[in-house]
Structure 1
Amino acid sequence: MVKVVFLHPDLGIGGAERLVVDAALALKSKGHQVHVVTSHHDPSHCFPETRDGIIPITVSGDWLPRSFFGKFFALCAYIRMIWASFYTVFCSGLCPQVFFCDQVSICIPVLKLFTKEPVLFYCHFPDLLLASHRHWFQKIYRAPLDYLEEKTTGLANLAVVNSHFTAGIYRDTFKSLQQRPQVLYPSLNFQTFDRPCSTTMENVIGSDKQPNFVFLSINRYERKKNLGLAIKAFALLKSNIGGSDIHLIMAGGYDERLVENVDYHQELKQLAASLGLSDCITFLRSPDDDIKTCLLRQTDALLYTPDREHFGIVPLEAMYCELPVVAVNSGGPLETVEDNQTGFLCYPTAEDFAAKMQFYYENRKQAKEMGGRGRERVINNFSFDSFSRQLNELIVSLVAQ
């Protein structure tokens, strides 16, 4: 048995958080002892495994600011993680044998300075590429943070990334690092989607709005997710087929503390209204697992709109639930969605998306067949068992070293 402590900045609902939860569950299934230390955990806005006691959680540093006057989020995240790492080393009494860190690497030098335990760093995507550097003051602000990100990432005993796409970005971005990252694909815990769900489509969109074909989009309400593309493509499809028996469900992670979530959600609703689609688009904020499972099982196709997404777990979830996918032809979906077999990979234009959506609408037998092939692909290539085995091997090798 190996004692593993996870350090994660904000244990809410998102792809990075799902990875951390799955990693903890995977190691626990292999007989290891796990514990997560985080700077924020809201029981009303989290995955059930972190709320029900399956994974022990310790919160430290939530009193520290998340921003200064709505700015400097990255700097505050660094400060909060430095605090969490000091707490873990000196106050938690956890005494781990391996540290598992992700997203914010500034905690690594603290762990390396005051302990001898190895550190695994899971790089979802270089943060410096997600930050804005357009104005001179942003460049000045980001320069030391970007430098620290590269140097502290290089201190990890092992760097792991979520796709070959991210591995290439990692090498191109962190040019001074000699260490090459290993690829560990995120996985699905199939049991999560095999459980019965009590929610019905009538509960979600109303009994008076039962359409003949339902498209689904699941993504956080962030502008980089390009959710407006799904709405514009849906509007174009509706115009092309001249029908009123289609519906679009926009479901996504939503945190009232994040101004972007609040503003972008309103922008999307206004876009739908301007296109005359308010009656045939349903917006859901942070649906729970029961509703999400219902949506994946009872809708007809998934729209996945982010461009250059580093991995993207949602297409896997959809394919496992036998939904055909329409995704942008870049980033992680190139490694998960098999074009013309389990879905379509498209240019990020409303015209291309609408054409593929129309194919599904008009060829439902072929759409179901593509969904079936998608399920087989996920089971064969992205199982939780495979993920658990690979992660266990990484952790055991770190301890042995």
Structure 2
Amino acid sequence: MARVVFLHPDLGIGGAERLVVDAAVALKSRGCGVQIWTAHYDPTHCFSETLDPDLPVVCVGDWLPTSVCGYLHALCAYLRMIYVALYLVFFSGVEYDVIFCDQVSVCIPVLRLSRRRKKVLFYCHFPDQLLTQRKSALTKLYRAPIDWLEERTTGMADMILVNSQFTAGVFRETFLSLGSVQTDVLYPSLNTLTFDRPPAEAQGLGGLLPEGTTTLFLSLNRYERKKNLGLALDALAALTNRLPSGQRAGIHLVVAGGYDDRVAENVQHYSELKELAARLGVEHCVTFLRSPSDEIKVALLRGSAAVLYTPSREHFGIVPVEAMYCCCPVIAVNSGGPLESVEDGETGFLCEPNADDFSQAMNRLVREPHLRGHMGQAGRRRVQDKFSLQAFSDQLHGYILRLTP
């Protein structure tokens, strides 16, 4: 039985965390011993699976800063993960065969310091250096050694997996010195247990939406500027201008997503979006939700005419897969991961990232409601065929076996 330890920087409720939790659950179901180690874990802000005592979560190093006066986030993340790795290797006494780490690769050389060298599997969601804007010479100078470390330490892993063909291409373009390194694609899966539970009356949408709502659209993403959530509000405003007043009254948008009071950008962007809705004159038909429960999220997906997925060049994005499994069409930007998950015209629409294109797609679903059922069923079949937990589990377990002869 392989013993696998997962190392992850912050075990919150984002897409990367969803993958780590699903991977741990998948390997546990195959008989592997599994632990998750992290620098931050809050039982009140986590995925429900991590509350299972049979899936141990170990949190060390949370006393270390996440930033210095609002700056140096990347450096602090590196130091926190180095601390977690050092604690695991030298002080924990934990026996393991494989380390599965993601997001922060700088801990890999630390893991090699173990007396009996263990195998390291690194999962690349997206090169970290591409997630930071370089607007000043000072930022470029600060990031230069961090970027160099990211590339060098990523190449030290025994196996590298990526989340999509799109990310595989970006990986090769970004890490030029790793051109000869093999990267395999392991698509994120969907743990359907949460979505298959019968809806509880208390967790329906009663009281959440205004009376008279006939068509619900949903934006589901973290409150981060790079997710381009403002596009959903712009599209809603454009849609209401297209529709006659009789149809316009029943349109409603829910903007829901991960929110953490510790993250300044979450707090700021939440306020920015509410101000944008007011400027566009659509605040009366928008509901903002912060970190909704799994039950509320599933109820929203089941009750929506479409999910509006607004990030551009998203490396994969689990939200479209969740929506399709719930028989909800997806309107997404035609770049990045959605090109591999969404079938344009079959399970949803792939659009240019502008309000006009998005509103046209929304308008079709309003005027042709039969499309929702057709696209919803096609989407569910696509998830079952391509993104099932069984397929993910089989593939991941195969990689672990290759690392533990």
TM range (shorter): over 0.9
After TM superposition, the structure 1 stretch with the greater mean CA deviation from structure 2, 276-285 or 75-84, is 276-285
How far apart are the structure 2 equivalents of 1:210 and 1:28? 46
Q: Give the aligned partner of residue 202 of structure 1.
A: 206
Where do 1:179-190 residues align within 5 Å? 179-190=181-192
CA distance in 2 between counterparts of 1:51 and 1:275 reads: 41
Counterpart check, 1:389 vs 2:390: no
Which residue matches 1:87?
Answer: 87
Runs of at least 5 residues in structure 2 that lack an aligned partner in the other structure: none
Which residue in 2 is equivalent to 1:172? 173
- The 8 Å contact of residues 233 and 350 in structure 1, kept in 2 or not, is answered as yes
| 1:227 and 2:232 aligned | no
Q: Is the 8 A contact 2:89 2:113 kept in 1?
A: no
Is the contact made by 1:249 and 1:281 (CA closer than 8 Å) also made in structure 2? yes
CA-CA distance at 1:191 after TM superposition: 1.5
- 1:199-278 equivalent positions in 2, closer than 5 A: 199-205=203-209, 208-242=210-244, 243-278=248-283
Q: Residue 200 of structure 1: CA displacement?
A: 1.6
Aligned residues: 398
One-letter code aligned to 1:29: S
Aligned equivalents of 1:227, 1:288: Cα separation in 2: 20
Q: Distance in 2 between matches of 1:369 and 1:343?
A: 10
SS in 1 for 2:113: helix
Q: Secondary structure at the match of 1:209?
A: coil
Give the counterpart of 2:372 among 344, 367, 371.
367
Superposed CA deviations along residues 157-209 of structure 1, whole A, max 9, x for unmatched, are 0000000000000011001012121100000011110012321222322xx43
Secondary structure of 1:203's aligned partner: coil
Other-structure match for 2:351:
346
What is the distance in 2 between the residues matched to 1:299 and 1:162? 27
Partner Cα distance (1:265, 1:252) in 2: 10
Structure 1 position 276, deviation (Å): 1.5
Q: Distance in 1 between matches of 2:360 and 2:220?
A: 20
Contact 1:161 1:181 in 2 (8 A): yes
**More deviation in 111-120 or 17-26?**
111-120
Cα distance in 1 between the residues matched to 2:211 and 2:288: 14
Tell me the secondary structure at the aligned position of residue 176 of structure 2: coil
1:210, 1:187 → 2: CA distance?
Answer: 36
Please say if residues 205 and 296 of structure 2, whose CA atoms lie closer than 8 Å, have aligned partners that are also in contact: no
Aligned-partner SS, 1:376? helix
Q: Find the counterpart in structure 2 of residue 125 from structure 1.
A: 126
Distance in structure 1 (CA, Å) of the matches to 2:361 and 2:400: 42
SS in 2 for 1:249: strand
8 Å contact kept, 1:171–1:180: no
Aligned partner of residue 373 in structure 2, secondary structure: helix
Partner of 2:301: 296
User: For structure 1, which segment, 364-373 or 7-16, has the greater mean C-alpha deviation from structure 2 after superposition?
Assistant: 364-373
**Aligned with 1:202: secondary structure?**
coil
Q: Distance in 2 between matches of 1:55 and 1:287?
A: 23
Say if 1:124 and 1:162, in contact at 8 Å, map to a contact too. Answer: yes
Identity %: 57
For residues 29-48 of structure 1, what are the alpha-carbon distances to aligned partners after superposition, in whole Å with 9 as ceiling and x for unaligned? 11000001100000111001
Structure 1 portions without partners, runs of 5+? none
Aligned partners of 1:122 and 1:160 also within 8 Å? yes
Q: Which deviates further from its counterpart, 106-115 or 307-316?
A: 106-115
Moved more, 49-58 or 33-42: 49-58
Determine if the alignment matches structure 1 residue 40 to structure 2 residue 13. no
Q: Is the 8 A contact 1:86 1:110 kept in 2?
A: yes
1:45 partner SS: coil
Q: Is the 8 A contact 1:123 1:162 kept in 2?
A: yes
Contact 2:365/2:372, CA 8 A, preserved across alignment: yes
Partner of 1:149: 150
